A and B are shown apart, each in its own frame.
Chain A
Amino acid sequence: MARHRLLIVLWLCSDALLFIVSFILAYFVRVGWIFSTNFPFAAFLAVVIGTTPLWLLILMFQRTFRLTDTQADTKHFLSLLWSNIVGVALFALAYFFVYDLFFSRLLLVEAFLFSTVILWFWHMFFTALARRSLWRDPPAFPTLIIGATREAAKLIETLQRKKNPLRPVAILDGRGTTLKALHGVPIIGKLDKLEETLDRHHISHLIQCSDIEQSLNLLSVCRNRSLTYLLLPSVLGIVERDEQVESLENVAVMVVRPQGLPT
């Protein structure tokens, strides 16, 4: 199994386990370090285990399990917070439906707090480990950069600093820059070296940072070879980082709303 797929499976399994552990912890904190006869542990555990796949699905729908994303940001924390609220609610609902009685409401609060804290730290720790694993030679996602521009240099520096799984291994520049490398990543030549570079470096991702006139052709190469194509907004002239990808009647559109404009 490819390295990244194995890591995703590990991540899903460990998350499921930690979600269950959080609830078990909440149970014992609430009822004491015993198996209560009023509140049977086995029944409690069965419902937690039953709820876990649904909770994982919620996380998946929120695109949490992406190894290229950083977990240490507000967006991911809020996403986890929301998923855990829904997870706890699902548990409460399921327990009520199955056993027709309720139990300590504080347990729900504690289960929510434990799962959020434990999983938040685990996500950060796991992705840090996963990134190291995916970054090391040979890289899991060798990435080709198109364009030796200022934005490309900034992107390469960020990807390297954060050990993002998309590891830049080569640069092609349509304008024929005289530079030899950007942050240690070699500039191989112009676009006529594309096929050769894709083969030699086993490229999995292509990030276009320049040469807008060649977008169609770069996309064509990516489609033919099943590569993932990414485009920096700066290629379209959007350099202020105020763009968003939204949906307009189910058509994906890139939106830039200068400050003060209505949505």
Chain B
Amino acid sequence: MQTFILAGGFATRLWPLTEKRAKPLLPLAGRPIVEHLITALPTEFPVTISTNAAFAQGFQSWIAQLQRPVSLVVEESKSDRQKTGALGALAEWITKEQITEDILLLTGDNYLGFSMKDFLSAYRTGIPLLAAHDLKNLSKASLFGTVITDPADAALVKGFEEKPINPQTTLVSTGCSVIPKETIPVLLQFAASHPDNIGGIFEEFLRKGIPVRCFTFTEPWLDIGSFDSYLAAHRLLVGEKTLVADGSHVIDSVCQGSVAIGKGSRIEKSEISDCIIFDDCEITDCNLSDCVIDNHCRLTGVDLTGKMLREGTVLRLT
């Protein structure tokens, strides 16, 4: 089975963290978000990541230090307006590489708490499979695309609803699915007219009479699309701990809640709670809470709450 990871978004809601890096490369508990997905995959699965020209270099650098081979497909777009769409990128890759195997399709900015082995065990040859998270809360489900299953067979999908006002179910679709090789022609045909509607392919399968199966899970699932969801994922994975990477120093400081500190950073005489601090930062005499601090920031004598700071920010209280 081939694995195709979508990582071509520009993640404008996470600006300025995504100014120079793709969202799946944001650090989460000490390693990039996408690395959490890849390490969960069977080692024999070839992995391809689809990204855009703006972030290609970042992926190349990251792939170079990975333990397993990963191919990169680069979409020639440098902005949101030029994007060909996720489904279009998938179709292009299938055509170009003449893919004739089943495809495990993943979204690079999702954190999936379930076992990939369990998910793949639920796959039946020739039947598309998607992972659906049970939110167990109807009002929360109304914020996502919901998956309506057959009352007679809970593993069989009957339909979908996009952000319904009155959801019929608490199951929401996630960025994890299997596209069987038998359905590739349908996918290519649909992608030609709907290159940006990746979720729509499963509705198309149902319209064409192709059954779609659903793997339901209750383990954590996070779609990291905003500052809040990024911090929520950080809290979930790090827990009540402080992760300090190699070459970083925490001196005379108090770290509370979930704190992750990247390489080569120095925290001195500060209070840090629920923060992600990237590489090579210097923080002295600060009080930071719920913040994400990008590389090479220099902060002295400031109190910040709920902020994302761009790379190289210098704040010195004078």
| A216 partner, pick from B10, B18, B307, B312, beta carbons under 8 A | B307
Distance (whole angstroms) from the CB of B179 to the closest CB of chain A: 30
A221 to B314, CA, bound (A): 10
A195 to B18, CA, bound (A): 12
Interface residue? B308 (CB, 8 A): yes
A190 to B19, CA, bound (A): 11
A189/B80 in contact, CB under 8 A = yes
A191/B12 in contact, CB under 8 A = yes
Which residues of chain A have C-beta atoms less than 8 A from B313's C-beta? 216-217, 220
Interface residue? B208 (CB, 8 A): no
A190/B80 in contact, CB under 8 A = yes
Distance (whole angstroms) from the CB of A54 to the closest CB of chain B: 33
| A192 partner, pick from B12, B304, B307, beta carbons under 8 A | B12
Which residues of chain B have C-beta atoms less than 8 A from A224's C-beta? 312
Q: Given A190-B15, A192-B12, A192-B15 in contact, is the A220-B79 Cβ separation under 8 Å?
A: no
Interface residue? B222 (CB, 8 A): no
A221/B310 in contact, CB under 8 A = yes
A189/B79 in contact, CB under 8 A = yes
Interface string of B1-37 (1 = CB under 8 A from A): 0000000001110011011000000000000000000
Interface residue? B315 (CB, 8 A): yes
Interface residue? B70 (CB, 8 A): no
A195 to B15, CA, bound (A): 12
A192/B18 in contact, CB under 8 A = yes
A109 to B38, CA, bound (A): 86
Interface residue? B81 (CB, 8 A): yes
A217/B16 in contact, CB under 8 A = yes
A193/B79 in contact, CB under 8 A = yes
| B81 partner, pick from A189, A217, A220, A221, beta carbons under 8 A | A189
| A190 partner, pick from B12, B304, B309, B310, beta carbons under 8 A | B12
Q: Which of A218-252 contact B (CB under 8 A)?
A: 220-221, 223-224
Interface residue? A159 (CB, 8 A): no
Interface residue? A174 (CB, 8 A): yes
A91 to B16, CA, bound (A): 57
Most buried by B among A189, A193, A217, A223: A217
Distance (whole angstroms) from the CB of A172 to the closest CB of chain B: 10
Interface string of B284-318 (1 = CB under 8 A from A): 00000000000000000000101111101111000
A192/B19 in contact, CB under 8 A = yes
A192 to B313, CA, bound (A): 16
Q: Count the A residues whose beta carbon is within 8 Å of the partner chain — how many?
A: 17
B15/A191 in contact, CB under 8 A = yes
| B312 partner, pick from A176, A192, A220, beta carbons under 8 A | A220
A37 to B106, CA, bound (A): 98
Distance (whole angstroms) from the CB of B172 to the closest CB of chain A: 23
Q: Which of A192-230 contact B (CB under 8 A)?
A: 192-195, 213-214, 216-217, 220-221, 223-224
Distance (whole angstroms) from the CB of A193 to the closest CB of chain B: 7
Which residues of chain B have C-beta atoms less than 8 A from A214's C-beta? 15-16
B12/A194 in contact, CB under 8 A = no
A189 to B83, CA, bound (A): 14
Q: Given A190-B80, A216-B307, A217-B309 in contact, is the A174-B15 Cβ separation under 8 Å?
A: yes
Which residues of chain B have C-beta atoms less than 8 A from A194's C-beta? 15-16, 19
| A176 partner, pick from B12, B18, B309, beta carbons under 8 A | B12
Distance (whole angstroms) from the CB of A226 to the closest CB of chain B: 13
- CB closest residue in chain A, given B311: A220
Which residues of chain A have C-beta atoms less than 8 A from B16's C-beta? 191, 194, 214, 217
Distance (whole angstroms) from the CB of A18 to the closest CB of chain B: 41
A195 to B310, CA, bound (A): 12
A233 to B81, CA, bound (A): 32
Which residues of chain B have C-beta atoms less than 8 A from A213's C-beta? 306-307
B79/A217 in contact, CB under 8 A = no
A224 to B313, CA, bound (A): 8
A213 to B81, CA, bound (A): 24
A203 to B120, CA, bound (A): 52
B18/A223 in contact, CB under 8 A = no
Which residues of chain A have C-beta atoms less than 8 A from B18's C-beta? 192
Interface string of B70-82 (1 = CB under 8 A from A): 0000000001110
A189 to B77, CA, bound (A): 15
Which residues of chain A have C-beta atoms less than 8 A from B312's C-beta? 220, 224
Distance (whole angstroms) from the CB of A251 to the closest CB of chain B: 11
| B315 partner, pick from A190, A191, A192, A216, beta carbons under 8 A | A216
Distance (whole angstroms) from the CB of B81 to the closest CB of chain A: 7
Q: Which of A142-177 contact B (CB under 8 A)?
A: 174, 176
Q: List 7 additional A-B contacts (Cβ < 8 Å) besides A192-B11, A192-B80, A216-B307.
A: A189-B81, A190-B80, A191-B15, A213-B306, A216-B315, A217-B16, A217-B313
The 8 closest A-B pairs by CB, nearest first: A220-B313, A190-B12, A217-B310, A191-B15, A217-B16, A192-B12, A192-B15, A220-B310
